[in-house]
Chain A
Amino acid sequence: SQQGEEDPQALSIQEGENATMNCSYKTSINNLQWYRQNSGRGLVHLILIRSNEREKHSGRLRVTLDTSKKSSSLLITASRAADTASYFCATDQGGGNKLTFGTGTQLKVEL
């Protein structure tokens, strides 16, 4: 399977803490994206990082990419209860814009 892997599978933190999720993939990529999915809902695009970029910020989100290790991390700072969701990384390997999704991390932020 070409599917990427994420860890941890599940993460439970207190509101205000930071949450870090990691993603590993198997092939060379054009870009890597992070998505959020609330239970039973569609996906929301969070951030895209290109293969020639190493770090990117968007609000409380920070994404890093290490193409030599084929890995990426998503950091959510100052987490809120509303951040509770599943987070997926997805890679664009250049084959017709198809995305390959990671296994996902279920984040729970408790009050």
Chain B
Amino acid sequence: GAVVSQHPSRVICKSGTSVKIECRSLDFQATTMFWYRQFPKQSLMLMATSNEGSKATYEQGVEKDKFLINHASLTLSTLTVTSAHPEDSSFYICSAIPGIYGYTFGSGTRLTVV
């Protein structure tokens, strides 16, 4: 089956620094990937749709300059949390749709900003 690999699984960073999260499709090409955010014991909220070779589409209320998305190839999308603050601490998950296999999610990244 199709696999989406997400790294790192956990990251702790200092307030004010930037953190990059990678999402890779391992055995298929993904022209579109999705980034979600999940707070503890809550549901997933779509942040943005990442499009290969073009700008990402952000959901209402999501700061574009805060959450930079780059989808430079058909197998890699990155989410960079810039100037991170404690309120950015959350669980970030990416997903892609590998054709007939349906939606596939990465294993998530737990970001803690101290």
In the assembled complex, the Cα of A104 lies from the Cα of B93 at a distance in Å of 16
By a CB distance below 8 angstroms, the chain A residues around B44 are 43, 88, 101
Q: Does B104 contact A (CB under 8 A)?
A: yes
- CB within 8 A of A43: which of B49, B97, B105? B105
CB distance from A108 to the nearest CB of B (A): 13
Q: Say whether A40 contacts B103, CB under 8 Å.
A: no
Q: Does B85 contact A (CB under 8 A)?
A: no
Count CB-based A-B contacts (< 8 Å).
51
CB distance from B41 to the nearest CB of A (A): 8
In the assembled complex, the Cα of A104 lies from the Cα of B42 at a distance in Å of 7
In the assembled complex, the Cα of A70 lies from the Cα of B87 at a distance in Å of 34
Q: Does B107 contact A (CB under 8 A)?
A: yes
CB distance from A31 to the nearest CB of B (A): 10
Q: Say whether A43 contacts B93, CB under 8 Å.
A: yes
By a CB distance below 8 angstroms, the chain B residues around A40 are 91, 108, 110
In the assembled complex, the Cα of A81 lies from the Cα of B108 at a distance in Å of 23
Q: Say whether A88 contacts B43, CB under 8 Å.
A: yes
In the assembled complex, the Cα of A7 lies from the Cα of B34 at a distance in Å of 26
In the assembled complex, the Cα of A41 lies from the Cα of B108 at a distance in Å of 6
* Total chain A interface residues with beta-carbon distance under 8 A: 21
Q: Say whether A104 contacts B43, CB under 8 Å.
A: yes
CB contacts under 8 Å to A, within B80-114, are 91, 93, 95, 97, 102-108, 110
- CB within 8 A of B102: which of A41, A48, A106? A48
Q: B-facing mask of A84-111, CB < 8 A → 1, else 0?
A: 0000100000001111111110100000
By a CB distance below 8 angstroms, the chain B residues around A42 are 6, 93, 105-108
Q: Say whether A103 contacts B43, CB under 8 Å.
A: yes
By a CB distance below 8 angstroms, the chain A residues around B103 are 33, 45, 99
By a CB distance below 8 angstroms, the chain B residues around A35 are 105
Q: Say whether B43 contacts A98, CB under 8 Å.
A: no
In the assembled complex, the Cα of A44 lies from the Cα of B107 at a distance in Å of 9
Q: Say whether A45 contacts B6, CB under 8 Å.
A: no
